Chains A and B, each alone.
Chain A
Amino acid sequence: MRNVKSFVADNIVTLIFLTITIIAIPFSGLSGSYIISNLIDRFARSSFLVFALILPIMAGMGINFAMVLGATAGQIGLIFAVDHNIMGTEGLILATLVGIPLSVGLGWFSGQVLNRARGREMVTGFILGYFMDGIYQFFGLYIMGWLIPIRTAQVMQIDGGGVRNTLALESVRGGLDKIVSLKVGPFSIPVVTFAVIAVLCLFIIWFRRTKLGQDMRAIGQEQGISHAAGINVDRTRILAIVISTVLACIGQIIYLQNLGNMFTYTSQRQAGYYAAAAILVGGATVSKASIKNVFIGVFLVHALYITTPLAGKALFKSAMVGQYMSDFINYGIIASALVLHAWKNKRAADLARAGLRMSAEAQAAAGGVA
């Protein structure tokens, strides 16, 4: 009985949203095979992005909302690939080669900023994402087409100033997914994409055991003691953010090659909202995250995305309700997960304090008798 209770308490966020999904499925009127094939597709598309959040959580920096900087770098890479008319897999490789150095630089910058905002990394990272939107728009609309010439007409705005708001990625679409695509019954499985995700999982498992990985876990526990133990805390935290930003860059490229078009100035923001919701609904907290959380989270969050708008539409008989419902669910997941986690922490702290007081009183009582 006690085990059940603590299991529920530990997985409350996941269980709540699992319940919502299960209730929403019949109302949505979708068939099982439709949901499953959609889930496979969406899992391949977006789980890489969610992995980008693991290392900063390990290093005690919370959810790295500044991962949108990496996603932005990936989008800049894709703009170059499309603009230079390099197709398919080579196009994606070029995009990655452009994106990685950029994301290393941006990651280093955001690591510096977050180190100055100790204790409020999450909100700072979030605002940093918006700040970057401004810089990125300046780059895309004014630098591109002026200092950096645009070669392809499809990339340019109609009036000739900068990069278009919606960019068709037909030339690189499926550049990863379609290398080897396996048909299993009604479902098609992008083998190479799954292989890339598997390699990333192995990388993370290996990385946790390296010296750097151990250092990150140590500073995630206690910065002061780690510093005393000779770990360069600032540098380790910056490295966690740099790796996270680079992973977000690659993740965004994988995501967009699957979708096949990109909202040049807003797609990166979606990546941030979505990845945070996924890892939290998968049972991660702002201080603890594992590969298991990513897998559960990606499946569950997409099951929610697929079913709840339709269920909302059916229940209220209005398409607009469905639309707002999915936005509400997305923000609601993050809000409730953060609240429940903070509340749990507070309760643990209160219990610990009460325990301390009781043992102090017990000691005092024992002292009185003696």
Chain B
Amino acid sequence: MSSIKTFITDFGWPRIIIALFLLSLFVAAPIVGVDLGASIGDVLNRFGQNAIMVLALVPMVQSGCGLNFGLPIGILAGLLGSTITMQLGLTGLTGLLVAILITIVFGVIFGYLYGKLLNNVKGEEMTIAMYVGFSAVMLFSILWLVLPFNKADLVMGYAGEGLRRSIALEDYWGKLLNNFGQFSIGGTPIPTGLLLFVGLCVFFVYVFMRTRTGTAMTAVGSNPDFARASGVSVERMRTVSTVVSTVLGGIGILAYQQSFGWVQVYDAPLFMAFPAVSALLIGGASVTKASMVNVVLGTFLFQGILTMTPSVINNVLKNELSEVIRIIVTNGMIIYALTRKTKVAK
């Protein structure tokens, strides 16, 4: 009995409610006439789209920088990666690989500067990260208009300059990962390549967090004074974690784009940090501790609810209610984590 109690307090009521809610949606789906196989396929696809952006948050949580509300900075690196590659006219696997390469270059530069900045504002990282992210997105909105992109399918038709709001990836590397080795089980399409790519990234971070650098990073996060006393440079570890996080954010948006089929610029990345943060927290992470299990479980639960709620609820009720539920769940979860005493779920 007491072990059930500790399990519940460890796991947290919000998480249990969300898991039960998702379960009931899956049960209700066939009853209200929703195709369950297709729905599960959607959930898997959206899991793959979003998981790397959630994963990107882990290094900074571990190094004590808190939840990376500045994720849009990484996303901007990814947008530069894909738009520049498209401007160069590279398609297919070459295109995707070059896009990843450019993203890594910009991600390292942006992440380094962003990390330096956060080192100077210890204690207020989250609020500042949020506003630095917002400012960066708006600054880039101006850049998307004035940078010398000129390929016909990238720029706005009537003026011939300035990127379009959404750029089709179909002729470049759209669905490349999704279609790689895709197969169906009973009407449920499995996006094999995308899931493998996510698995690869998760594995990379898992290994990285267990290297010398990764362990030092965790030490800095759990006890900076102790870490400093054992000869670890706190500032350096925080910067490294920010660089890794920013690069992963960029790769995350590349995975998202290829599955979604469109590159979205301008203010599209503005609020992308919030669902990612919420997903990580739903998976059981706290502001100071996060693991791979939190990433996978959280992304699945969060994207599950986002996918299933509209399809189930729209069949019963009106349209916007699922949007309201999304806002309340996303932000309610973040508030729950920010107000909780720092005890960690497994």
Q: Does B93 contact A (CB under 8 A)?
A: no
Q: Is the CB of A127 within 8 A of B162?
A: no
Pair count A-B, CB < 8 A: 125
Q: Does A194 contact B (CB under 8 A)?
A: no
Complex CA–CA separation, A62 to B138 (angstroms): 25
Q: Which residues of B contact A40 (CB under 8 A)?
A: none
Complex CA–CA separation, A282 to B327 (angstroms): 33
A296 to chain B, nearest CB (A): 21
Q: Is the CB of A321 within 8 A of B146?
A: yes
Interface-side segment among A246-254, A256-264, A335-343, A362-370: A335-343
Q: Count of chain B residues with Cβ under 8 Å from any Cβ of A?
A: 44
A324 interface neighbour in B121, B130, B145, B340, Cβ under 8 Å:
B145
Q: Does B113 contact A (CB under 8 A)?
A: no
Complex CA–CA separation, A339 to B130 (angstroms): 12
Complex CA–CA separation, A334 to B124 (angstroms): 13
Interface of A (DSSP majority class): helix
Q: Is the CB of A127 within 8 A of B128?
A: no
Q: Is the CB of B126 within 8 A of A328?
A: no
Interface residues of B in 53-103 (CB under 8 A from A): 66, 69
Q: Is the CB of A339 within 8 A of B132?
A: yes
Q: Is the CB of B124 within 8 A of A328?
A: no
Q: Does B331 contact A (CB under 8 A)?
A: yes
Q: Is the CB of A116 within 8 A of B339?
A: yes
> Which of A133, A331, A332, A346 is packed against the most chain B CB atoms within 10 Å?
A331
Q: Which residues of A contact B117 (CB under 8 A)?
A: 339
A134 interface neighbour in B146, B267, B324, B339, Cβ under 8 Å:
B324
Q: Does A189 contact B (CB under 8 A)?
A: no
Complex CA–CA separation, A79 to B61 (angstroms): 42
Q: Does A170 contact B (CB under 8 A)?
A: no
Complex CA–CA separation, A133 to B117 (angstroms): 31
Interface residues of A in 49-79 (CB under 8 A from B): 62
Q: Is the CB of B121 within 8 A of A343?
A: yes
Q: Is the CB of A138 within 8 A of B324?
A: yes
Complex CA–CA separation, A339 to B135 (angstroms): 13
Q: Is the CB of B120 within 8 A of A325?
A: no
B113 to chain A, nearest CB (A): 12
Q: Which residues of A contact B124 (CB under 8 A)?
A: 122, 286, 338, 342
Given the interface pairs A161-B318, A328-B142, A331-B134, the reply to whether A342 lies near B120 with Cβ below 8 Å is yes
Q: Is the CB of A126 within 8 A of B123?
A: no
> Which of A286, A320, A346 is packed against the most chain B CB atoms within 10 Å?
A320
Given the interface pairs A134-B331, A332-B135, the reply to whether A346 lies near B321 with Cβ below 8 Å is no
Given the interface pairs A123-B126, A126-B127, A130-B274, the reply to whether A328 lies near B141 with Cβ below 8 Å is yes
B138 interface neighbour in A116, A286, A327, A342, Cβ under 8 Å:
A327
Q: Does A34 contact B (CB under 8 A)?
A: no
Q: Is the CB of A338 within 8 A of B131?
A: yes
Q: Is the CB of B331 within 8 A of A131?
A: yes
Q: Which residues of A contact B332 (CB under 8 A)?
A: 131, 134
Interface residues of A in 124-160 (CB under 8 A from B): 124, 126-128, 130-131, 133-135, 137-138, 141-142
Q: Does A231 contact B (CB under 8 A)?
A: no
Q: Does A316 contact B (CB under 8 A)?
A: yes
Q: Does A113 contact B (CB under 8 A)?
A: yes
Q: Is the CB of B128 within 8 A of A328?
A: no
Q: Which residues of B contact A270 (CB under 8 A)?
A: none
Complex CA–CA separation, A120 to B338 (angstroms): 8
Chain A residue with Cβ nearest B122: A346
Q: Does B31 contact A (CB under 8 A)?
A: no
- Pick 10 A–B contacts, CB within 8 A, sort by A: A119-B123, A120-B287, A122-B126, A134-B328, A134-B332, A137-B324, A161-B318, A328-B139, A334-B131, A339-B117
Using CB atoms and an 8 Å cutoff, list the residues of chain B in contact with chain A: 66, 69, 117, 120-124, 126-128, 130-132, 134-135, 138-139, 141-142, 145-146, 162, 266-267, 274, 287, 318, 320-321, 323-328, 330-332, 334-335, 338-340
Query: What are the nearest 10 A-B pairs in CB distance?
Result: A134-B327, A342-B121, A328-B138, A335-B131, A134-B328, A131-B331, A116-B339, A331-B134, A324-B141, A123-B126
Using CB atoms and an 8 Å cutoff, list the residues of chain A in contact with chain B: 62, 113, 116-117, 119-120, 122-124, 126-128, 130-131, 133-135, 137-138, 141-142, 161, 286, 312, 316, 318, 320-321, 324-325, 327-328, 331-332, 334-335, 338-339, 342-343, 346
